[in-house]
Amino acid sequence: MKLLKFINIKAILLLASVCILLLSFLKDTEYVKSSPLAKLFVTRSNSQETPEITETQKIVSEESIVIDIVERSLPSVVTIGISKKTQTQGSIEIDPNNPFSPFRRVEGEEKTIEQNIGSGFIISKDGIIITNKHVVFDTKASYTVLTDGKEEYDVTKIYRDPLNDLAILKIEATDLVPLALGDSSKLKLGQLAIAIGTPLGEFQNTITTGIVSGLGRGITAGSPFQGFVEELSNVIQTDAAISPGNSGGPLLNSSGQVVGVNTAIAGDGQNIGFAIPVNVVKELISTFESQGGTFERPYIGVRYNMVDKRTAMLNEVVEGAFIETVIKDSPADLAGVKEEDIITRVDGKKLDGENEQSLAKIILNKKVGDTMDLDVWRDGKVLQITITLGAFSE
């Protein structure tokens, strides 16, 4: 009887083992997956299984933002071209058959050079465009704007910002698509940056992406060999590729808003580009509008250097704007300002000798025809002089 019990138990255990082994082979079959037995085979790996990421899902998550921004922004980005007449170098000819004949001078030929040189972006439906000042710095040339739709317009007016590497262009057009301006003070390191422009003046609508690599940078832009050098402060650094010809194009955020104006690249580095913050553009637009949007820039007609407190003490003078040159027949000249005068106050406000743009900013916040009351230090005496601002012609 004890032997029979032992055999029954052994048989039961053997049968159970066979069943478990059989079910383990069947667990991935459609029959078991669709039956109540499927619950017996929920393993740790099954419970932590992640869904397969398809190529479509990857595009949606990583690229759709950029694609959407580009599609919305391209109609608002333009290519800027230049047209300028130049004279080819003359030559001297001699008669090969008569070495004693006099030289004959041949005058050079006049040629017109036309090429694309930069980028810009539309900020109003009626044809106001932002670009860099160095793109349109040649006052003797004429400029054109080519839109994404391949429509070409002549630039009729140019307002060049004397404080920053920015310019406002005007074309005669309607129903253009403007870009929205963001807030560069809210930029964060590492956020998405999208640059659009025409690199090398040839490849229109080139898109490059990167991140905001740095904020508040100070750089020297341009080249002394090109005759254009400018100190730029508080600019945005990005690793989105920027090339010659991209200058003046927009730097966009992930909402498609302009956060900067592509301006310069580091000549001795790779993937180091710089953009003027859009809030500086907003200040320029505000100044432009306060002057009536007439494209006339007010001026007084002097060249000056600021004298700070330390320099003033060392030279026994006063703090303010030291006048180096007075332009003949300018508003300052007609009002009686002289070289070596020091302007200490404007409309009762003391000038800050530490700020090189102290006087310039006051002038730019006025309109052509406005007056300025100056306190002028001359030979130890303070004089009061009133100037009527004129229109600067470039």
Residue 19 phi/psi, 5-degree rounding, is -65, -45
Cα–Cα distance, 148 to 75 (Å, whole number): 5
Per-residue pLDDT of the chain (394 residues; tens, 9 = 90+): 444 444 455 555 566 565 665 555 555 555 545 555 455 444 444 445 555 555 555 555 668 889 999 999 999 999 999 998 887 776 676 666 666 666 667 676 778 888 999 999 999 999 999 999 999 989 889 999 999 888 999 999 999 887 789 999 999 999 999 999 999 999 999 999 999 999 988 899 999 999 999 998 887 766 544 455 667 788 999 999 888 888 999 999 999 999 999 998 877 667 789 999 999 999 899 888 877 777 778 889 999 999 999 999 999 999 999 999 999 999 999 999 999 999 999 999 999 888 877 898 888 888 889 999 999 999 999 999 999 999 886 6
User: Which pLDDT score is estimated for 108?
Assistant: 65
Cα–Cα distance, 238 to 192 (Å, whole number): 9
Residue-wise over 227-262: b if at least 16 C-beta within 10 A, else e? Answer: eeeeebeebbbbbbbbbebbbbbbbbbeebbbbbbb
Cα–Cα distance, 373 to 348 (Å, whole number): 8
Residue 40 phi/psi, 5-degree rounding, is -75, -15
Three-point CA angle 389, 373, 380, nearest 5°: 120
Determine if the pTM surpasses 0.75: no
HSE, side-chain direction, 13 A CA sphere, residue 339: 6
Q: Just list the catalytic residues.
A: 134, 165, 247
- Contacts of residue 110, defined as CB under 8 A and 6 or more positions apart, other chains included, come to 85, 86, 87, 88
DSSP string of 171-222? Answer: ES--S--PPPB--GGG--TT-EEEEEE-GGGTSTTEEEEEEEEEEEEEEEEE
